[in-house]
């Protein structure tokens, strides 16, 4: 029994808080190493936001330094749930988001999830980084998704499942799946969520225990009922297709079994084989005269959707040559196969789909997002470039209720994606959505200064005087936030509505508080962009 026992994560922490005054000494070495690491590591561990801010202002600070346990400042901040410090560190381009420690192989994201933090903001900050690797495994083969399930954190499981590149049936070293852990905890909400996302009820661990075995052993009657409803009436051909046994599938077909028979979820053998990537079984099924390649399950998904969601290129290739396949079919969320491939970050499948001449790349899902919107919102620069290379892709919102790709990229703070979209010749740089009538106002309001400066560099095609519903302009928002680089950039613009902006008392007060602006105010008072309007 001892060999099957799992060792818990034991993390040794410093015994006493740091003395902040030592960090303020003249000529102090900000990268000096003590037993637990550098001052930055200690400050991150203890949640000393002001000290972290002070250290990060030093040009010679080493962000990626790892102590003897292989743990960096970001690792400790994530572990302890210090959201503000995580945000401070992630704002630096030099930070490494996937630095695993030595003892357990935990990345900062995995460390945060493994400790069971319920602070979703910390997790969301890490997930928003475009370099994060969600499939990264620790020394025991566990991913952040498996940790979230093992800690019974359904909210984190839901967030992680929505990320591209996350596989619901990933296995840890003992072959336990996410569904196995959910069934063990008796968490009905999580089990249902995983089943809806394709969780495999038949996957067994190294001891032969499936999620059903575990639910029975733990006495979770409601989970047993949920899982049994998926087991009931599993047609033989469906079982053969799901397990990938082409020889048995052929024998069953030769004996006259219905090629389009469905299981309790409405899935045909083709659905099941496509979802698992069993290309030999898929080819066998497609060779049957009566095969229905457009059959839909209870979630309105086709076999093409299943292959796309699973990232199975050979299966997708087989399906696309079928004359009756509907490449633009939408599921219950109004997502196409292209939507799923984009969300999974699978560029090879996207390239294949884009080669099909009747593909419509501009279909909107239930969120009114096109595939380009999805890529822009996720900050996937390579995917955005790939989609923009398609001649008929729409870069602007086609409906007043739709969130434009540029607006989504700005909201997410994806600087390089914004830069890429702005290079497109037909992009509408002023197209906003909801309470933020323009990307400029949105980036300004969210404090994305680099993006704001990119937008302000667009010249005549940018409307710098657009207002929010309460009358604020980009200038007034920047002044209110104290973003004087933005103020400096807007004021010299001859198109800036200076007379109107003066009407906001708090803006004037903000500007007067900065000695650099005094001269410019005097200039605009006496030589405004159009004296006839002042």
Distance CA 439, CA 432 (A): 6
Distance CA 532, CA 515 (A): 28
Question: Tokens 């060999």, residue?
Answer: 3
Distance CA 100, CA 69 (A): 10
**Greatest CA separation for the chain:** 93
Predicted local confidence at residue 161, as pLDDT? 87
DSSP 197-231: TT--TT---TTS--HHHHHHHHT-HHHHHHHHHHH
Q: Is 273 exposed, middle or buried (0-12, 13-18, 19+ CB in 10 A)?
A: buried
Structure tokens at 156: 């984190």
Tell how far CA 187 is from the center of its chain: 24
- Long-range Cβ pairs for the range 131-136 (8 Å, 24+): 131/97, 131/98, 132/97, 132/98, 133/98, 133/107, 133/165, 134/109, 134/160, 134/163, 134/164, 134/165, 134/166, 135/165, 135/166, 135/167, 135/170, 136/98, 136/100, 136/107, 136/109, 136/110
* Tens digits of pLDDT across the chain (534 residues): 343 334 444 444 444 444 544 544 545 677 888 777 888 888 888 888 888 888 888 777 888 888 888 888 988 888 888 888 888 888 887 788 888 888 888 888 888 887 765 567 777 788 777 777 777 888 888 888 998 888 888 888 888 888 877 888 888 888 899 999 999 999 999 999 999 888 888 888 888 888 989 998 999 999 988 888 877 556 889 989 988 999 999 999 999 999 999 987 889 999 999 999 999 999 999 999 999 999 999 889 999 999 999 999 999 999 999 999 999 999 998 999 999 999 999 999 999 999 998 999 999 998 899 999 999 999 999 999 999 998 789 999 888 788 999 999 999 999 999 999 999 999 999 998 877 789 999 998 888 999 999 999 998 899 988 888 778 888 888 877 777 788 778 876 544 444 344 444 555 555 555 454 444 444 444 444 343 333
Predicted local confidence at residue 233, as pLDDT? 55
**pTM score, whole prediction:** 0.61
Q: What are phi and psi of 56, to 5 degrees?
A: -70, -15
Q: What is the 3-state composition of the chain as percent helix, strand, coil, each rounded to the nearest 5? A: 50, 0, 50
Q: What are phi and psi of 176, to 5 degrees?
A: -80, 140
Distance CA 534, CA 271 (A): 69
Distance CA 146, CA 290 (A): 40
**How many other C-beta atoms lie within 10 A of the C-beta of residue 392?**
8
Predicted local confidence at residue 351, as pLDDT? 96
Predicted local confidence at residue 28, as pLDDT? 66
According to CATH, the topology of domain 10-133 is 1.25.40
Predicted local confidence at residue 511, as pLDDT? 52
Q: What is the 3-state secondary structure (H, E, C) of 419-463?
A: HHHHCCCCCCCCCCECCECCHHHHHHHHCCHHHHHHHHCCHHHCC
DSSP 403: P
Which of 71, 80, 61, 81 is CA-nearest to residue 36? Answer: 71
């Amino acid at each position: 029994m001892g060999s099957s026992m799992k060792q818990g994560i034991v993390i040794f922490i410093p015994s006493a808080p740091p003395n902040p005054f030592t960090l303020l000494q003249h000529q102090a070495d900000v990268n000096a190493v003590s037993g637990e690491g550098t001052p930055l590591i200690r400050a991150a561990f203890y949640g000393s936001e002001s000290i972290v801010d002070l250290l990060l202002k030093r040009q010679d600070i080493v962000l990626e330094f790892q102590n003897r346990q292989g743990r960096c400042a970001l690792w400790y901040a994530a572990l302890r749930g210090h959201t503000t410090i995580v945000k401070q560190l992630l704002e630096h381009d030099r930070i490494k988001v996937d630095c695993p420690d030595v003892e357990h192989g935990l990345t900062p994201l995995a460390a945060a999830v493994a400790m069971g933090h319920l602070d979703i903001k910390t997790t969301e900050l890490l997930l928003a980084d475009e370099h994060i690797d969600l499939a990264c495994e620790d020394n025991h083969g566990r991913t952040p998704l498996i940790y979230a399930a093992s800690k019974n954190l359904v909210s984190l499981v839901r967030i992680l499942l929505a990320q591209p590149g996350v596989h619901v049936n990933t296995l840890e070293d003992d072959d336990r799946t996410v569904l196995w852990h959910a069934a063990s905890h008796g968490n009905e909400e999580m089990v249902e969520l995983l089943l809806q996302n394709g969780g495999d009820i038949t996957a067994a661990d190294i001891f032969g225990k499936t999620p059903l075995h575990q639910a029975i052993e733990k006495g979770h009657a409601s989970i047993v009922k949920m899982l049994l409803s998926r087991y009931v009436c599993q047609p033989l051909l469906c079982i053969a297709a799901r397990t990938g046994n082409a020889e048995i599938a052929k024998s069953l077909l030769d004996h006259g079994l219905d090629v389009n028979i469905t299981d309790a979820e409405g899935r045909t053998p083709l659905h099941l084989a496509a979802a698992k990537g069993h290309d030999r079984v898929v080819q066998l099924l497609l060779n049957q005269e009566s095969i229905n390649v457009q059959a839909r399950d209870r979630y309105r998904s086709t076999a093409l959707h299943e292959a796309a969601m699973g990232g199975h290129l050979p299966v997708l290739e087989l399906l696309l040559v079928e004359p009756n396949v509907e490449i633009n079919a939408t599921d219950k969320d109004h997502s196409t196969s292209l939507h799923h491939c984009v969300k999974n970050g699978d560029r090879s499948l996207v390239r294949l789909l884009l080669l099909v001449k009747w593909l419509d790349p501009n279909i909107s899902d239930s969120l009114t997002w096109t595939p380009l919107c999805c890529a822009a919102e996720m900050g996937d620069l390579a995917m955005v470039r790939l989609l923009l290379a398609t001649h008929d892709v729409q870069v602007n919102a086609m409906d007043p209720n739709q969130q434009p790709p540029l607006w989504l990229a700005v909201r997410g703070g994806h600087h390089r994606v914004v830069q890429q979209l702005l290079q497109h010749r037909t992009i509408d740089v002023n197209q906003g959505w909801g309470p933020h009538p323009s990307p400029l106002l949105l980036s300004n309001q969210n404090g994305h200064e680099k993006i704001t400066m990119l937008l302000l560099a667009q010249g005549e095609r940018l409307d710098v005087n657009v207002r929010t519903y309460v009358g604020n302009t980009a200038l007034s928002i920047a002044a209110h936030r104290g973003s004087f680089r933005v103020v400096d950039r807007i004021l010299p613009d001859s198109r800036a509505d200076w007379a109107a902006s003066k009407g906001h008392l708090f803006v004037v007060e903000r500007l007067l508080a900065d000695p650099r602006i005094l001269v410019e105010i005097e200039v605009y008072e006496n030589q405004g962009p159009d004296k006839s309007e002042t």
